[in-house]
Structure 1
């Protein structure tokens, strides 16, 4: 049996509750951004051919601990290491990228990177790249190419950047994002309605750091009361599950705190599984916003979507896959969803899919990766298991008033309480009854008495030890090197 280790938070077949999905890691099981689920779930399915075992690495190879142990296990237990990547050529990811480079340099098995991209301000010239950025990107790319036939990048911009750094076309393949190919080539995008109505269901994605996005969200959620926002960061999941506000809220109009109207009216939805996300998007009339995978989830569901591109990454992915996009900087910050919907050219999307899919398949085969689209390699058992898995649905806020939302709040309370025994062991907000002794606990006086007794015992033990050591020194002065 071929064993493939894949860079992923978990297997797409593994069912975790909302609470587990956040608590399994400091960044959530999906690694900070839930958009990651879309591309690693797609690669998981594509490589899950009969006779292959695909195992998630839980992102351990880029953490600053126990790298040697993970490297040895990878070499000993697996035949391949496949890394579905995101906008990993970016400044904030450089420490992780450098650790991955160290790992790959010590691996003895083939390594394949699928869909890595640059994230730089739109229009950045390569001769202005910082030296440290160029050094780490070069080291990582060289390490990968020493273990593979080629590296798959997200778009032409990233390919040009790598060429500037010395990596030729023979080693760099533009393949887009693997999230688009999990089930084969996609069909056309067809408008579900001629015109958006007041009550149209709309999904809006947003990136808090993009200037003016608060006005975009506010204007369109006011115009369309059945619209919802779909956050993607683990911080927002903590906000929705537990009411965990950020340390600072510099802009109260941004929907990142519990007092925001969208939180109070339960108009946020978060997803901890790719399949439930796509199912939800299939119910929407339109999707738009600044998050690339917020819109990829839309097109995977066949829902017309428009990317509001704001950096090199969102532009190159939209162009490569034929997803309609607009440069956000050229639009009014409060642009109406209806304007985006009516001005978008959805007809160009469908014809592009067969070509990009074929390019992706050739890349897999160039790197000797078997896949489910090859003759005789389909794996219907995988799809059946995915369809049967009891995944939790979208996360609601704590302010949800419908039955689904209230049941989620009940689930969170059960998660916190963990039964009566758990409550007895809990130290937060601990209470000492003024008269009756709680079961299994001692009064304050009894605790003080016990500590005083323990102190006397320790003092007597210390005095006894000193006496013994004095006798030893008198009998054998050489034990201290002749000193008394």
Structure 2
């Protein structure tokens, strides 16, 4: 099958040099990232580095087919050119649109509606979810309503991040709707199972090689988390996803200031952000623009503990146990669907004896049952794609090798 993949990209979109008609040209290298401006520009291109996992998972699920990733901006910029859309229609059999929090009050999907109205082929919307479900039916923007109207009128398929989104889309009259979870969940199933098998271990509470994720620059929650788990002489490793463009985390210096060490993935320039003075541990802040590099770094850890869904998922892809703190509707929907052990932020934040609570929580996890649930969800995801006509390779061929065996230049 000839598949046009668009929407949220993998990190490989950094090699796109240009697009003409239905042809995408790639450079054989990545742009260097060194300065403050480089870091901010790269984060802005993807909006949130956790999004890399969504595009990567979607692309990986299409292996075995003739797949071309076409940046969505090319489709949007070509709306006035019927010639371009005719060429695209001749070149592909189906479009897969990698999505995330598209259904939300603050975002109007006008461009998506126009693009899919012009595309004369079936559309698979993969990974679509709801960001804030309160009053969504009343507050859904007109552009998003148009987007749903367009897809309701053509051959379309929705693979959602969870049950609530599925029910909402069915209410909107969509015919093929399956809750399948985020496609990033199935990128490296063996690594995920290894991580799930290892999380039922109270001894992880004493680990000192931990990745943290959250919302530095907005709230101090992650700083509290690090102080609970880390000894005074340990170093907190925090992974940035979008803080430098959304949460007022400022890299000190002008645009040319040396800010990033690519081999370690560390921010090396001074930073300024709210609540920074509350740190009582040494800390290093990392950011990754290559998911293979991110997984390689994560594979050296003992645990990921955090408030970011994809920051924990990539650590699990590397086979390392991760425990999430659910902070919003997005995380709750995805975690409810996949059945991963997690802690509610409201409960955790109020708990006076956090370390004892966490040890008890880990001791009660039924790892075999969690893995069984994961296996069922993976089968459901691949069955849904098969039902659409996007045939899946046998599981033994789909699974990637352990992260340590993945070459740094290997495509995702």
TM tier, shorter chain? 0.7 to 0.9
Say which one has the larger Rg: 1
- Residue in structure 2 matched with residue 5 of structure 1 by the alignment: 5
Taking the aligned partners of 1:281 and 1:362, their CA distance within structure 2 comes to 30
- Residue 138 in structure 1 maps to residue 148 in structure 2: no
1:177 and 2:182 matched: yes
1:354 to 375, 378, 402: 375
Q: Deviations over 1:100-147 (max 9, x none)?
A: 1111011102211111100116xx2xxx33645154433223333444
Aligned partner of 2:69 in structure 1 is 56
Is the counterpart of residue 213 in structure 1 residue 221 in structure 2?
yes
Normalised TM-score (structure 1): 0.64
Distance 1:244 1:88 in 2: 34
Aligned partners of 2:118, 2:376: CA distance in 1, in Å?
36
Aligned residue in 2 for 1:403: none
- Per the TM alignment, residue 276 of structure 1 is displaced from its structure 2 partner at its CA by 2.2
**Equivalent residues of 1:372, 1:379 under 8 A apart:** no
Question: Over aligned residues, Cα RMSD in angstroms?
Answer: 3.9
Alpha-carbon deviation of 1:179? 0.4
| SS at structure 2 position matched to 1:268 | strand
**Structure 1: which 5+ runs fail to align?**
392-484
From the superposition, tell whether residues 269 and 18 of structure 1 become closer, same or farther in structure 2 (CA, over 3 Å).
Answer: farther
Task: Select 1:326's aligned residue among 320, 333, 343.
Answer: 343
How far does residue 299 in structure 1 lie from its aligned partner after superposition? 2.3
2:334 is matched with: 317
**For 2:69 and 2:203, how far apart are their aligned partners in 1?**
43
- Residue in structure 2 matched with residue 157 of structure 1 by the alignment: 164
Give 1:46's aligned residue.
61
- What aligned pairs does 1:57-72 form with structure 2 within 5 A after superposition? 57-60=70-73, 65-69=77-81, 71=85
**1:204–1:288 CA contact under 8 A, matched in 2:** yes
**Count of aligned residue pairs for this structure pair:** 368
Structure ranking higher in strand proportion: 2
Does residue 100 in structure 1 map to residue 112 in structure 2? yes
So what's the TM-score if we normalise by structure 2? 0.74
Partner of 1:227: 236
How far is 1:86 from its partner?
Answer: 1.3
Q: CA separation in 1, counterparts of 2:350 and 2:75?
A: 37
Alignment of 1:319-468 (within 5 A): 319-332=336-349, 336=354, 339-344=357-362, 345=365, 347=367, 348-373=369-394, 387=407, 389=409
Q: Distance in 2 between matches of 1:158 and 1:270?
A: 30
- Over 3 Å counting, the alpha-carbon distance change for 1:61 and 1:284 in structure 2 is same
2:102 aligned partner: 88
Listed as ranges, the gaps of 5+ residues in structure 2 are: 16-28, 252-258, 261-266
Change beyond 3 A, Cα 1:3–1:309 = closer
Shift in Å, 1:32:
0.8
Residue of structure 2 equivalent to 1:115: 127
**C-alpha displacement at 1:360, in angstroms?**
0.5
**Deviations 1:385-411 (CA, angstroms, capped at 9, x unpaired):** 9635179xxxxxxxxxxxxxxxxxxxx
Say if 1:194 and 1:41 are closer, same or farther in 2 by CA, change over 3 A: same
- Summarize deviations over 1:227-256 as a string: whole Å, max 9, x none: 31111117269845384868xx5x24389x
